[in-house]
Structure 1
Amino acid sequence: MGIAIISPSRSTEIWEKEIIGIDNQIDIQVYPDIERFEDVTVVLLWNHPKGYLTKFPNLKLVCSMGAGVDHILADETIPENLPITRIVDPKLTFSMSNFVIMGVLNYHRQWTRYQMQQLERKWDMSKPEIPVHVGVLGVGELGGDLINKLQALGLEVSGYGNSPKNGLSYSYYYGDQLQDFLNQCNLIVCLLPLTSHTTKFLNKAFFQKCKAGTYLINVARGKHLEEKDLVEALDKGLLSGALLDVFSEEPLPEDHPFWSHEKIQVTPHIASVTNPKAAVPQIVKNYHNILNQQPLINQIDRKRGY
């Protein structure tokens, strides 16, 4: 029995090397050159072809090659009783928080504005910083770490989630308290998991609830955002700007309006990138756990979607 790696959009060489380095007895097959489907017990996935897993008669475990699993759950052909795991890596959290803090401080201290003024040779000392109250959508592992670091910088922060939480050091809202949450904030960070409930969560109705001039940072998933509604909200002044690292279609098409919109900053999905050296030991451990009928680590709740 062995492992299949199915990642059409990524190079898999480092993943193969790391697996062999831990256990050189594991049989590895890589898409699209998989021939012995019956020999595969575990698959590693990132944006696999929908329905492809039906080819594996002895599949016992599906592993995401990143922290997100929405790309797996979108495939309705995967049996509901098949366990799914994700990657948990402190470096992912570290990188994500640092990226968002960069975006928050850039807006707070108007760094982009001053870069443009340098090109124009313009000396303008007015409004050198914008007071911010950061609202974090999604206060799981990533959101919680970000909030702690923003508080350490002395910034006001609120959180919003799906369920009630107690004993927090910041104001927290959930469920139907979204408007109360948005009333507090003028900078929104989206770190929500992608589920059927949160798809297109950032839409026209959401933007209309925001305080005028709110700034948006989306580092979660592109499908959280209704892209045309964002452009409209920016053009109408409902929002003051946006920093986007994730998109509905990636790479972002060359003719996409986000590239040239003066109020949008684009980065190519690099806020937090999986490190195979940290991820592979988790996958190999689960490979052996599934063979030995031992509990899995980092298994997701299929009903919750994360």
Structure 2
Amino acid sequence: MKVRFSAREAAWAEWAPALRAALPEMELAREGDPAAFDAIIYAPGGDIDDFTPYRRVKLVQSLWAGVERIVTNPTLTQPLARMVDPGLARGMAEYCTGWALRAHLGMDGYAQDGRWRTGAVPPLAPERPVTILGMGELGRATAAMLGGIGFPLTGISASGHPVPGVTVHPVAALDAVLAEAQILICLLPDTPATRDLLDARRLSLLPEGAWIINPGRGTLIDDAALLAGLDQGRPAHAVLDVFRTEPLPADHPFWSHPAVTVTPHIAAETRPATAAPVAARNLRRALSGQPVLNLVNRAKGY
């Protein structure tokens, strides 16, 4: 099995040992005759833009959960699989849980300024509704962790599949769900249907004091509408890990807005130790003619 590795140069040293350990029968290379490769391991920033010469390739395995940077490539006709990494899912769940607890407990209300503040007693977790937009792998992992604490959970799901411990609604019910979302966690993919989904009208539906936590995709929220909403207190605060332009420009108003917390796209990383076995299993399936796991639906974009 000959596999082409196409990712940023710095990724090679980290990924190659893990991939070779997980798939010892593989010949992993960074370059070579395109017609000689059986599969491609891909991440944005790699050196393949034209997939046409890779005629033998039976699978392009993405190292990222998001595939919006490759799925629209017109030369890509080979099967494409997104990465579903248990380490990434746990990392995302921990990020969302940490910030949800910060919002829930009002941790930002205790400035270290010498004032003794009393009287602000938060409700217990079972009294604080949390809403998750997107009930895929990351949404389910986040729900499992938050549910263990006791938060009542509501989810928006395009598929409508049931999720244990979550009241799942279709996208058509989004407006009604937003009106009850005291903490809103956004984990939707970047597709034409989700871009600017949270516009001025929908942001205005959030209850007073609501927080938004967005580690999903920067295109989900209308930036100007969010800033205007924050100025009016709906939402009360936004924790943003993803942006339309990354790195976020130094002069972007998100940096200076008092109701915005910017984190530098660190909510969830694909970890070679947990992701390499996932890639290895999928490559073996593809090369042996078995159905590929986590195959991307080109029409849906994920």
Q: What TM bracket, shorter-length normalisation?
A: 0.7 to 0.9
TM alignment of 1:17-166, pairs within 5 A: 17-24=17-24, 26-30=26-30, 34-48=31-45, 51-79=49-77, 82-114=78-110, 117-118=111-112, 120-129=113-122, 132-166=128-162
Contact 1:5-1:44 at 8 Å conserved across structures: yes
Unpaired runs of at least 5, structure 1: none
1:305 & 1:9 partners in 2: Cα distance?
26
Question: Deviation of residue 102 (structure 1)?
Answer: 0.7
User: Aligned pair 1:12/2:8, yes or no?
Assistant: no
TM alignment of 1:204-223, pairs within 5 A: 204-223=200-219
2:163 & 2:60 partners in 1: Cα distance?
35
Q: Give 3-state SS (helix, strand or coil) of 2:204's partner.
A: helix
Kindly tell me the number of residue pairs found equivalent between the two proteins.
298
Per-residue Cα deviation, 1:122-171 (whole angstroms, up to 9, x for no partner): 22124243663211111223222322332332222211122434585443
Q: TM-score, structure 1 length as denominator?
A: 0.87
Question: Deviation of residue 85 (structure 1)?
Answer: 1.2
Are residues 58 and 146 of structure 1, via their aligned partners in 2, closer, same or farther at CA, if it must alter by over 3 Å?
same
2:166 & 2:55 partners in 1: Cα distance?
49
1:147 & 1:190 partners in 2: Cα distance?
12
Q: Give 3-state SS (helix, strand or coil) of 1:159's partner.
A: strand
Are residues 10 and 203 of structure 1, via their aligned partners in 2, closer, same or farther at CA, if it must alter by over 3 Å?
farther
The more displaced of 220-229 and 258-267 is 220-229
Unpaired runs of at least 5, structure 2: none
Are residues 186 and 66 of structure 1, via their aligned partners in 2, closer, same or farther at CA, if it must alter by over 3 Å?
same
State the one-letter code of the partner of 2:4. Answer: A
1:89 & 1:167 partners in 2: Cα distance?
19
Contact 1:212-1:237 at 8 Å conserved across structures: yes
Are residues 98 and 76 of structure 1, via their aligned partners in 2, closer, same or farther at CA, if it must alter by over 3 Å?
same
Question: Deviation of residue 87 (structure 1)?
Answer: 2.2
2:229 & 2:203 partners in 1: Cα distance?
7
The more displaced of 229-238 and 2-11 is 2-11
Contact 1:73-1:305 at 8 Å conserved across structures: yes
Contact 1:2-1:41 at 8 Å conserved across structures: yes
Q: Which has the higher contact order (CA 8 A, sep 6+)?
A: 2
User: Aligned pair 1:240/2:236, yes or no?
Assistant: yes
State the one-letter code of the partner of 2:187. Answer: L
Q: Alignment RMSD, CA only?
A: 2.4
State the one-letter code of the partner of 2:7. Answer: S
The more displaced of 49-58 and 37-46 is 49-58
Question: Deviation of residue 25 (structure 1)?
Answer: 5.2
Contact 1:163-1:175 at 8 Å conserved across structures: no
1:282 & 1:168 partners in 2: Cα distance?
24
1:20 & 1:144 partners in 2: Cα distance?
30
State the one-letter code of the partner of 1:200. Answer: D
Per-residue Cα deviation, 1:45-97 (whole angstroms, up to 9, x for no partner): 22246843234333321111022222221323322xx2111222322222211
2:260 & 2:9 partners in 1: Cα distance?
26
Q: Give 3-state SS (helix, strand or coil) of 1:70's partner.
A: coil
